[in-house]
């Protein structure tokens, strides 16, 4: 079985076609979700944020489904005090072309910031502070000066925790062209110059998040940082670390898209959200490894490669190959049966046709599956075969399976008034 599956997987890989643009992505997502509209929404999201971007799915308070693109770098920390807001109607801080102080220190003493604040006031600029925390005398002084109109300043806590916080602060520094004023490097806030600060075209700060738009960092530094994060993604063995690294990569390069799912009822919304999440996973898999003809056709196309093993093997190994050959036919057979057709007849006819041509149950015709938009992600097709073979092999070698024995439920006791 393992030998036959290895040959089949290799052949599926050879037949795989790279995803070409928005149209292919839309088709993969539409088939997975069984909804053309969902397919278009996911295609638009992936086009907006590129392959490195992050796409999240959230529940919406409205009836419709919307796509929201977050431009720039966003992190989940908002302003420390509501007194800092510049737009009371939206309750957010919006600064154009501010200086950005990035530090892993806790700022409590205003004396540490005074030299820097004097330079910023002279330049007529605004200041955004991203620090471990800003409290006490420092916070009250910044708020008081803002209310008096002396100068504009807003502060947010640094994102993340521990070592991950240090890395994220460094990401912000690279994006904005500033330096992280760090205790580890023996740097003091009193000694900070304007050249140590980051800059951006705009910074938006809400109650729960901050967005830095169009940072002034050097493109070559940003490219080097992105390359380093990609290398870490390749090396890490932890799924959690990989997910966090992917988020950092998206914030630096690709961007973030949010698909907000709306519906008339909560049940419909949850069902639609699950379908979008499934379609999103299928689409990512397609971008990663390409697509193959759908409807089980990809499995039929590799029968010839697997059948060659019959001439090389004998005994139980030959039986294993026969089992795999039969299993490869099953998706086409089952799809046809589900559509009300004779599965065996359809399967035999597909086997006699050219590679890539399969049975379209909807139109009841034999068609080139890729050209009519019936495609499956190569990764999903490959994984389904490998996982099925893995489970079958374990059952064959152990000759047993551990399962819960269902216990008969006792009858409901009689209630008052029952006869």
Asked whether residue 130 carries a pLDDT value surpassing 90, the answer given is yes
Q: What CATH code is carried by the domain that includes residue 200? A: 3.50.7.10
Q: What is the pLDDT of residue 259?
A: 84
Shared-domain flag, residues 210 and 297: no
Mean pLDDT of 39-45: 85
φ, ψ of residue 212 to 5 degrees: the values are -105, 115
Shared-domain flag, residues 119 and 210: yes
- Contact between 282 and 276 (Cβ < 8 Å): no
Choice between 337 and 399, residue whose per-residue pLDDT is larger: 337
Q: Note the pLDDT tens digit of each residue in 241-253.
A: 888 888 888 777 7
Q: Which of 183, 217, 251 is the last residue of a domain?
A: 217
Handedness of CA 234, 130, 181, 153 (dihedral sign): positive
For residue 155, the enclosing domain spans 74-217
Encoded tokens for 418: 């029952």
Whether 172 is in a domain gets the answer yes
Q: Which residues, 6 or more positions from 266, have their beta carbon under 8 angstroms from its beta carbon?
A: none
Q: Which of 177, 200, 217 is the last residue of a domain?
A: 217
Whether 59 is in a domain gets the answer no
Least confident of 166-175, 217-226, 248-257, 270-279: 248-257
Mean pLDDT of 205-233: 88
Mean pLDDT of 413-418: 66
Encoded tokens for 336: 């046809």
Shared-domain flag, residues 78 and 209: yes
What is the DSSP track for 200-252?
EEEEEE-SS-EEEEEE---HHHHHHHHHHHHHHHHH---HHHHHHHHHHHIII
Q: Which of 182, 217, 252 is the last residue of a domain?
A: 217
Whether 94 is in a domain gets the answer yes
- Contact between 256 and 53 (Cβ < 8 Å): yes
Shared-domain flag, residues 6 and 116: no
Shared-domain flag, residues 111 and 210: yes
State the pLDDT confidence band at 299, using cuts at 50, 70 and 90: very high
Q: What is the pLDDT of residue 10?
A: 92
Q: What is the pLDDT of residue 74?
A: 81
Least confident of 31-35, 66-70, 231-235, 395-399: 66-70
3-state helix, strand, coil in the chain (%, to 5): 50, 20, 30
Asked whether residue 419 carries a pLDDT value surpassing 60, the answer given is no
Shared-domain flag, residues 208 and 317: no
Whether 157 is in a domain gets the answer yes
Whether 140 is in a domain gets the answer yes
Q: What is the pLDDT of residue 381?
A: 92
Which pTM was predicted? 0.60
Q: What is the pLDDT of residue 254?
A: 59
Shared-domain flag, residues 205 and 338: no
The dihedral region occupied by 44, where left means phi > 0, alpha psi between -120 and 50, and beta the remainder, is alpha
Q: Give the bridge partners for 292, in sequence order.
A: 376
Asked whether residue 386 carries a pLDDT value surpassing 90, the answer given is yes
Choice between 175 and 184, residue whose per-residue pLDDT is larger: 175
Whether 131 is in a domain gets the answer yes
Q: What is the pLDDT of residue 286?
A: 85
Shared-domain flag, residues 96 and 212: yes
Q: Note the pLDDT tens digit of each residue in 302-322.
A: 998 999 988 888 888 889 999
Mean pLDDT of 362-390: 90
- Please give the share of the chain, as a percent, with pLDDT higher than 70: 96
Choice between 158 and 399, residue whose per-residue pLDDT is larger: 158
Cα gap 103→121, rounded to integer Å = 20
Asked whether residue 53 carries a pLDDT value surpassing 70, the answer given is no
If one counts the domains in the chain, the total is: 2
Whether 52 is in a domain gets the answer no
Shared-domain flag, residues 90 and 6: no
Q: What is the pLDDT of residue 71?
A: 66
Cα gap 283→280, rounded to integer Å = 5
Q: Note the pLDDT tens digit of each residue in 191-203.
A: 888 888 999 988 9
Whether 111 is in a domain gets the answer yes
Mean pLDDT of 188-216: 88
- Contact between 191 and 105 (Cβ < 8 Å): no
Closest CA to 110 of 132, 75, 143, 158: 143
Mean pLDDT of 277-284: 85
Q: What CATH code is carried by the domain that includes residue 383? A: 1.10.560.10
- Please give the share of the chain, as a percent, with pLDDT higher than 90: 22
Q: Which helix (H) or strand (E) holds 386?
A: helix 378-398
Q: What is the pLDDT of residue 257?
A: 79
Which of 49-53, 58-62, 383-387 reaches the highest mean pLDDT?
383-387
Average pLDDT along the chain: 86
């Amino acid at each position: 079985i393992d030998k036959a599956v290895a040959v089949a997987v290799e052949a599926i890989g050879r037949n795989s076609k790279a995803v070409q643009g928005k149209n292919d992505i839309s088709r993969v997502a539409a088939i997975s979700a069984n909804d053309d509209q969902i397919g278009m929404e996911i295609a638009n999201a992936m086009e907006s944020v590129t392959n490195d971007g992050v796409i999240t799915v959230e529940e919406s308070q409205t009836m419709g489904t919307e796509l929201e693109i977050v431009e720039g770098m966003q992190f989940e920390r908002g302003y420390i005090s509501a007194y800092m807001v510049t737009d009371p109607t939206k309750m957010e801080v919006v600064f154009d072309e501010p200086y950005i102080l990035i530090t892993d220190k806790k700022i409590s003493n205003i004396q540490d910031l005074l030299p820097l604040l004097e330079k910023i006031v002279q330049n007529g600029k605004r200041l955004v502070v991203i620090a471990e925390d800003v409290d006490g005398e420092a916070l009250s002084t910044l708020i008081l000066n803002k209310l008096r109109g002396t100068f504009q300043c807003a502060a947010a806590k640094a994102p993340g925790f521990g070592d991950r916080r240090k890395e994220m602060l460094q990401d912000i520094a690279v994006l904005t062209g500033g330096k992280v004023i760090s205790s580890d490097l023996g740097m003091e806030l009193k000694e900070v110059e304007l050249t140590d600060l980051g800059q951006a075209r705009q910074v938006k700060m809400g109650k729960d998040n901050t967005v830095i738009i169009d940072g002034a960092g050097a493109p070559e530094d940003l490219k080097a940082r992105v390359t380093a994060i990609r290398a870490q993604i390749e090396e890490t063995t932890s799924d959690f670390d990989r997910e966090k690294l992917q988020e950092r990569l998206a914030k630096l390069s690709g961007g973030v898209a949010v698909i907000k799912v709306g519906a008339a009822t909560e049940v419909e919304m949850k069902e639609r959200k699950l379908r979008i999440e499934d379609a999103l996973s299928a689409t990512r898999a397609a971008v990663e490894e390409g697509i193959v003809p759908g409807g089980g056709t990809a499995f039929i196309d590799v029968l010839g490669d697997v059948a060659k093993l019959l001439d090389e093997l004998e005994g139980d190994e030959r039986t294993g190959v026969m089992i795999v050959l039969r299993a490869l036919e099953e998706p086409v057979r089952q799809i046809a049966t589900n559509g009300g057709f004779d599965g065996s007849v359809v399967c035999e006819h597909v086997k006699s046709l050219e590679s890539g041509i399969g049975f379209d149950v909807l139109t009841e015709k034999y068609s080139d599956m890729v050209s009519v938009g019936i495609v499956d992600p190569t990764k999903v097709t490959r994984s389904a075969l490998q996982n099925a073979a893995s489970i079958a092999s374990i059952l064959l070698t152990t000759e047993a399976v551990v399962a819960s024995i269902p216990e008969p439920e006792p009858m409901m006791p009689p209630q008052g008034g029952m006869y």
